[in-house]
Amino acid sequence: MRTSALYAAGALMLLAGCGSGSNTVTVEDAWIPAAPPGAGVMAGYLLLRNGSSQALRCDGASGADFGAAEIHRSVVENGQSRMLRDQVLELAAGESATLAPGGLHLMLFRPAREFKIGDKTELKLHCGSVTVTASARIQEPR
């Protein structure tokens, strides 16, 4: 009983960890560029910091307003612009990863609604037993 309460408290701390505090996994500057009307797919960008003492391995994503989400990477190889699926973010303790235009990004499929600049939507990164939640803001492309 007492043990499970401790676990619950631990899980809550982990969830609450998004945004502040040390020794936690945090997400900063989560944003989604506004897309043309009727866009079937959007991109999500963020800065992921592994402030914990454990290595972090994120291999999945989801979004509250999207049919599906994946971790992708845009690359240019031999003059060809390509998109690589099924990317894994591996962060040692203390490391961070930047998802930004032209490289790593969250591929957000089938938006369930039309967004306006300033709207917010929840994105999640799935990292084994840890789920990192971020509130992403719809912004002008930058």
Partner 1 sequence: MWDNEASIIPKFRATTRPATSDHPTVPSNRSVNHTVIAALAGATALIGGILLATWLNTPGTTTLRSGTLLQQPRVLPALDLIDQDGQPFTHAQLQGHWTLIFPGFTYCPDICPTTLGLLKTVQTQLGSRAEHLQVVLFSVDPERDTPERLKEYVTYFSPAFRGVTTSEPNLKAVAQALGVAYAKVPGGAPGEYSMDHSAALILINPRGELAGYFTGPFQADLLLADLKQVLERSP
Q: Interface residues with partner 1 (CB under 8 A)?
A: 33, 35-43, 68, 70, 72, 74, 76, 79-83, 85, 101-102, 105, 107-109, 141-142
Closer to partner 1 by Cβ: residue 25 or 42: 42
Burial of 59 (0-12, 13-18, 19+ CB in 10 A): middle
Please say which residue, 18 or 97, places its beta carbon nearer to partner 1: 97
Give whichever of 9 and 41 is closer to partner 1, judged by the CB atom: 41
Distance between CA 37 and CA 29 in Å, rounded? 24
Whole-number minimum distance, CB 87 to partner 1, in Å?
12
Q: How far is the CB of 11 from partner 1 (least distance, A)?
A: 29
Q: Which is nearer to partner 1, 57 or 110 (CB)?
A: 110
CA distance 119 to 47: 19
Tell me if 32 sits within 8 A of 44, measured CB to CB.
yes
Place of tokens 């973010």: 89
